[in-house]
Amino acid sequence: MGRVALVTGGTRGIGEAICKALQQKGYSVIANYAGNDAAAAEFSERTGIPVVKFDVSDFEATKLQIKQIEDDNGPLDILVNNAGITRVCTLHRMDPNQ
């Protein structure tokens, strides 16, 4: 198995660009997404990069999916945490759940 990269929020925008760049560098890339099944399927068909749907804000779901990804592909060499939403708040005012 080659070097493995997981990109969260990897099927659109910046995440897609990161996935493609890693793929061009020879990584086996897996793209995570959370909601848009049609966009994820189109991305996967167009790029040949497999997609895995899970909500990165759900710790247990993420833990299970990463284990499955590693079982299927080998250990992760790169993790790009690109997924996210914008909540306007300064860091010192955030609680651990944020």
Q: State the DSSP string of 16-67.
A: HHHHHHHHHTT-EEEEEESS-HHHHHHHHHHH---EEE--TT-HHHHHHHHH
Q: Please write the tens of the pLDDT for every residue from 51-72.
A: 999 999 888 999 999 999 999 9
Q: What type of residue sits at position 53?
A: K
Residue 57: the pLDDT is: 86
CATH no. of 4-93: 3.40.50.720
**Amino acid (1-letter code) at residue 5:** A
84 or 69, which is more confident?
A: 69
Per the DSSP assignment, residues forming a β-bridge with 6 are 30, 79
Using CA atoms, how far apart are residues 81 and 7, in angstroms rounded to an integer?
6
Per-residue confidence at 88, pLDDT binned at 50, 70, 90? Answer: low
Per-domain residue ranges for the chain? 4-93
93 band by pLDDT with thresholds 50, 70 and 90: confident
What is the C-alpha to C-alpha distance for residues 42 and 28, in angstroms, rounded to an integer?
A: 18
Question: What mean pLDDT, rounded, does the chain reach?
Answer: 91
Q: Give the global pTM.
A: 0.85
